[in-house]
């Protein structure tokens, strides 16, 4: 009986193959996280000191008009019923109507999100291409002048307010030197000339074969993307250096060197290989922060992205737009976490 009980306890709680159990657990965690996100945004919409009815009908509306709008919004129902309908609407992609634009919030987000995606993607590429090698070299040459420069770069990136760097960058590279384009995504001459296919002007201009529009769009995006990339570079290089220092002090690195392995192989084939999974987390978090935290950069450079959209909506008490943008940003974090988990399994088979 004891052996039978032991064998029963060792059996999985679901008679499914390992890959199916892993998929089910992942989907369940996504569903719970998404439900929690919707619950938080729902509560935010209810506790904010803003009357959504007055925002629609105005302060001069009669009591009958106010009550009619109150019932139309479903605010006369219980909170549980309101939350049920809120979840149902969000799952259908219905975030309501924006008070500022008088359009569906979902269509507004579809219009502004590609601008932020394009800006953040170029920024994270800049941060990875420069930050990872810089961190590796700083760790290998610990205490050297290269290491000191890398640490100063990271310190400045952490310390300097990004809005100050943006203003100084505009003053120097646009106002004085004229090397880059000004605020906005395009110059006045190229506005609305490129058919929108992806919403990302660099790609759309390539699809249209308009090299003049491409150069103009690149001149406008290079400065804000470089600032965001520098912000992520500071974090990525610092974490890469820390991870590499830990690996380079390990015994297996000493053993590899004693066996006569080249320094290049020791650094990149052994030490760097063992920090890839950790770097995936760092890069994914940096990318997510750029996608949702580039508000100041978008405002300074008049970049019509989701950060400036949510900020403008919040200042105008447009709660449908604020909550819709918040849900989308939360979905971005969830998707990046899923993508990170997939990369874990690629680079580290032990995580399967």
The answer to the question of residue 55 being in a domain is yes
Last residue of a domain, one of 51, 75, 92: 92
pLDDT (tens digit per residue) in 101-127 = 878 889 999 999 999 999 999 999 999
Q: Tell me how far the alpha carbon of residue 3 is from its chain's centroid.
A: 51
**Which has the minimum average pLDDT: 42-51, 134-143, 174-183, 244-253?**
42-51
The whole-angstrom separation of Cα 19 and Cα 21 is 6
**pLDDT band at 1; cut points 50, 70, 90:** very low
Asked if residue 18 belongs to a domain, the reply is no
Task: Using a pLDDT cut of 90, give the percent of the chain over it.
Answer: 18
Based on the fold, state whether residues 84 and 144 are members of the same structural domain.
no
Give yes or no for residue 2 having a pLDDT over 50.
no
Please say if the pLDDT value at position 151 is more than 60.
yes
- Same domain for 129 and 47, yes or no, is no
Q: Which of 110-119, 186-195, 249-258, 330-339 has the highest mean pLDDT?
A: 110-119
Residues 86, 232: one domain? no
When divided into structural domains, the chain yields a total of 2
Q: Please provide residue 97's backbone torsions phi and psi, each rounded to the nearest 5 degrees.
A: -110, 135
Show the domain range for 60.
43-92
Where is average pLDDT lowest: 17-21, 146-150, 198-202? 17-21
Distance in angstroms (rounded) separating the CA atoms of residues 295 and 119: 12
How far, in Å, CA of 135 to CA of 267, rounded? 12
Q: Please check whether residue 283 lies inside any domain of the structure.
A: yes
User: Is 26 inside a domain boundary?
Assistant: no
pTM check: above 0.75: yes
pLDDT tens for each residue of 219-278? 999 999 999 999 899 999 999 999 999 988 888 888 888 888 888 888 888 888 888 888
Same domain, 86 and 233: no
Question: CB-based contacts of 104: which residues, under 8 Å, 6+ apart?
Answer: 94, 95, 96, 97, 98
Tell me, yes or no, whether 69 and 159 share the same domain. no
Domain harbouring 250, CATH code: 1.10.3720.10
Average the pLDDT over 289-299 and give the result: 81
Whether 282 is covered by a domain: the verdict is yes
pLDDT at residue 63 above 80? no
Task: Answer yes or no: do 148 and 88 share one domain.
Answer: no
Structure tokens at 57: 């009908």
The proportion of the chain whose per-residue pLDDT surpasses 70, expressed as a percent, equals 90
- Rounded distance between C-alpha atoms, residue 273 and residue 206, angstroms: 36
Domain identity same for 249 and 295:
yes
Instruction: Report residue 172 as tokens.
Output: 């120097």
Q: Is the pLDDT of residue 11 over 60?
A: no
Alpha-carbon distance 109 to 101, whole Å? 12
Closest CA to 322 of 45, 112, 71, 136: 45
Tokens matching residue 147: 């290491």
Q: Are residues 249 and 143 in the same domain?
A: yes
CA distance linking residue 282 with residue 241, whole number of Å: 12
DSSP H stretches of helix in the chain: 2-10, 18-47, 52-57, 63-72, 79-91, 105-140, 145-159, 162-169, 201-208, 211-248, 251-258, 263-264, 276-293, 295-300, 306-315, 319-347
What tens digit of pLDDT does each residue of 305-321 get?
A: 888 888 888 887 788 88
Q: How far is CA 205 from CA 179, 217, 222, 294, 325, in A?
A: 21, 9, 16, 24, 27
CA distance 283 to 281: 6
Residue 115 within any structural domain of the chain: no
**Is 195 contained in some domain?**
no
153 and 275 both lie in a single domain? yes
Instruction: Choose among 127, 312, 146: nearest CA to 228.
Output: 127
| Pair 258, 178: CB distance under 8 Å | no
pLDDT at position 12 over 60: no
Q: Give me the phi and psi of 242, to 5 degrees please.
A: -65, -45
Q: Are residues 67 and 151 in the same domain?
A: no
What is the rounded CA–CA span in Å between residue 235 and residue 86? Answer: 38
Between 58 and 89, residue with greater pLDDT? 89
**Residue 224 near residue 163 (C-beta atoms within 8 A):** no
141/73 same-domain check: no
Q: Residue 73: inside a domain, yes or no?
A: yes
247 and 327 in a single domain? The answer is yes
């Amino acid at each position: 009986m004891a052996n039978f009980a032991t064998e029963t306890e060792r059996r999985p709680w679901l008679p499914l193959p390992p890959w199916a159990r892993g998929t089910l657990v992942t989907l369940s965690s996504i569903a719970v996280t998404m439900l929690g996100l919707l619950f938080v945004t729902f509560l935010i919409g209810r506790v904010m000191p803003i009357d959504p009815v007055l925002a629609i009908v105005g302060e001069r509306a009669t009591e009958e008009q106010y009550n009619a709008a109150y019932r139309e919004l479903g605010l006369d129902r219980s909170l549980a019923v309101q939350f049920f309908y809120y979840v149902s609407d969000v799952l259908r992609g219905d975030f309501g109507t924006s008070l500022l634009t008088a359009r569906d919030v979902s269509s507004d987000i579809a219009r502004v999100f590609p601008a932020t995606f394009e800006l953040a993607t170029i920024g994270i590429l800049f941060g990875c291409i420069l930050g990872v090698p810089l961190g590796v070299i700083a760790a290998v040459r610990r205490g050297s002048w290269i290491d000191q420069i890398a640490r100063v770069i990271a310190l400045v990136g952490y310390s300097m307010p990004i809005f100050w760097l943006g203003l100084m960058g505009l003053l120097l590279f646009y106002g004085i030197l004229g090397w880059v384009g000004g605020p906005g995504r395009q110059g006045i001459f190229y506005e609305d000339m490129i058919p929108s296919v992806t919403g990302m002007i660099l790609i759309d201009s390539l699809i249209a074969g308009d090299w003049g529009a491409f150069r103009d769009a690149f001149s406008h995006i290079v400065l804000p993307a470089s600032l965001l990339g520098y912000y992520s570079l500071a974090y990525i290089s610092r974490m890469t250096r820390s991870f590499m220092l830990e690996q380079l002090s390990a015994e297996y690195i000493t053993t590899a060197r004693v066996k006569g392995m080249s320094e290049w192989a020791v650094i990149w084939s052994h030490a760097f290989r063992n920090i890839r999974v950790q770097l995936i987390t760092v890069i994914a978090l940096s990318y997510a922060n750029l996608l949702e935290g580039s508000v100041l950069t978008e405002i300074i450079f008049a970049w019509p992205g989701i950060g400036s959209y949510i900020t403008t909506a919040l200042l105008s008490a447009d709660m449908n737009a604020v909550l819709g943008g918040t849900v989308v940003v939360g979905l971005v974090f969830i998707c990046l976490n899923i993508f990170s988990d997939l990369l874990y399994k690629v680079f580290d088979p032990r995580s399967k």
